[in-house]
Structure 1
């Protein structure tokens, strides 16, 4: 990121003119990385293929063994919940850091309630809703229907779970089949029995505010589905300049000695989609942002 990118982002965060997008990598030290979680489950179910770090593929196989998708999701939800929340007072803890600003809408593909807890810790009165990507997901009429829709603001923000929540196991986007069905609903912007899949207030936060991706990597299926599905489906999103906090390509994904070229390519790739990239962890990003803002994390 260049100095002008930092200056623009700082102004947007201070005024609430941005929409954070929180992924699993934001839970450093509290959430198990999806690859590690995938390998645990691959071992448990004796997954027969070599891509044991691909969570949707492993969960697709686990679902065939368990024989019940909701039972599988309920089990993984319990395991994730049992890990407990992060230390919100720790320096650079991303949930606590980003929720202190006057941002009205927070988007997440995580299943936990960490954003909700962090917002309450800052004295706010947040609400939350889950994307109804299939008929079994609860439908919040107050948030979803125009004319009735909620009006989130800095003191009463909304947390929108794009991939479900542990409190409603059936809502979790987990297996390959789930991701495919979810992508179809997302990219076609269909309605289910006259119910909006993406509510107006969320569309507004996507189309009219720059996005701040935290906790994703380019080669992660979750990120690719959302990034391409949202930006291609809603061209207005490209009117703003966004920021993505990205981990550098790992050695297992890049040929020896090609790390610099890989990063240059990814910089060009993101730039074509109006996205400035910060290379580093969410904690490192928070530390640098706080330094430039003259605050502490």
Structure 2
């Protein structure tokens, strides 16, 4: 369902002119691989989470972190849960068998969720009308920003012949030991052929980099709010993508930690009236979210984003990208 008016010509032109920055939520990857399955709720059950907010990943992770007094163990537990869930989910024509280890890893060890999903055929990047990764990979975008932990987007880009470069934001001192000039996002000049995929909330091949618990989100917000005002706090391509381009928010829940710390941190801090119009794709929440008056909620969301020059599209990320792809192909004479 789409309850918002989108100027498709504007967005097609912004993409064609290199003036569009997608910012992609982690939920897009989970939904792409697992569909409607409640993966976070399943993890909550597996670790005997005792509270009712079982869909809140930050709360569940924070609980396990406190219980085990080990933040890294909680992050590894979540990543193992994703891998195990992927192994239990059979893709069409993809029998579950032994996995090929990544280079340098022992058999059965070191496979990230992204690698497992690809090897099991769960991450299908062939042309499909509702495949957001296929569509994003085929658009001439040079900087992709994501709060997702996984590398499905990189795999999709590679599947269409592009050579993405991945990096992640160092949101605490332990992660920020490497000199800026040694961090690839600070030296790489993104192009259509070699786009940059920048993970704001960490990457699953480095579990310690994940922004997962409530405390992680607070630490990220504090660090990002400082770095955004420092000349070298973020790589130049990332800063330019946030300040000069139209931002396309894909898959975010307004009430989630991931949305709040990014929108109220880097995005809002860099807001100027000169920045082009941006767009938030907002899924209407169900009754389980505790919203009793949907009309009032929609008005609230509209006002919230409108202050920062964001239009709204009411619907799913897959629904939005599907329509965007139709408009893109029509404008290119491929319809």
TM-score past 0.5 threshold:
yes
**Residue of structure 1 equivalent to 2:111:** none
Whether the 8 Å CA contact 2:40–2:55 is kept in 1: the answer is: yes
**Residue of structure 2 equivalent to 1:209:** 245
**Residue of structure 2 equivalent to 1:77:** 79
For residue 16 of structure 1, report the CA deviation from its aligned partner.
2.5
Indicate the larger mover: 153-162 or 182-191: 182-191
Q: Which of 250, 275, 280 is the equivalent residue of 2:286?
A: 250
Change (3 A) 1:140 1:217: farther
Deviation above 6 Å: which 4+ runs of structure 1? Answer: none
Q: Distance in 1 between matches of 2:223 and 2:201?
A: 12
**Residue of structure 1 equivalent to 2:195:** 157
Q: Which of 258, 276, 294 is the equivalent residue of 1:222?
A: 258
Change (3 A) 1:23 1:51: same
**Residue 139 of structure 2 corresponds to residue 104 of structure 1:** no
TM-score normalised by length of structure 2: 0.78
Whether the 8 Å CA contact 1:116–1:126 is kept in 2: the answer is: yes
Q: Distance in 1 between matches of 2:309 and 2:220?
A: 25
Whether the 8 Å CA contact 2:27–2:148 is kept in 1: the answer is: no
Unaligned 5+ runs, structure 1: none
For residue 190 of structure 1, report the CA deviation from its aligned partner.
7.5
- Which runs of structure 2 are paired with 1:60-209 in the superposition (5 Å)? 60-81=62-83, 83=86, 84-85=117-118, 86-89=123-126, 90-137=128-175, 139=178, 141-142=180-181, 149-189=187-227, 196-209=232-245
Change (3 A) 1:234 1:143: farther
Change (3 A) 1:16 1:172: same
Unaligned 5+ runs, structure 2: 87-116
Q: Distance in 2 between matches of 1:144 and 1:217?
A: 30
**Residue of structure 1 equivalent to 2:297:** 262
Q: Distance in 1 between matches of 2:253 and 2:163?
A: 31
Q: Distance in 2 between matches of 1:69 and 1:102?
A: 38
Backbone CA RMSD of aligned residues: 2.8
Q: Distance in 2 between matches of 1:160 and 1:142?
A: 16
Whether the 8 Å CA contact 1:206–1:237 is kept in 2: the answer is: no
Q: Distance in 2 between matches of 1:159 and 1:261?
A: 36
Whether the 8 Å CA contact 1:37–1:55 is kept in 2: the answer is: no
Whether the 8 Å CA contact 2:43–2:81 is kept in 1: the answer is: no
Give the secondary-structure state (helix, strand or coil) at the position aligned to 1:41.
helix
Whether the 8 Å CA contact 1:18–1:210 is kept in 2: the answer is: yes
Q: Distance in 2 between matches of 1:31 and 1:195?
A: 40
**Residue 33 of structure 2 corresponds to residue 30 of structure 1:** yes
Whether the 8 Å CA contact 1:208–1:237 is kept in 2: the answer is: no
Change (3 A) 1:136 1:175: same
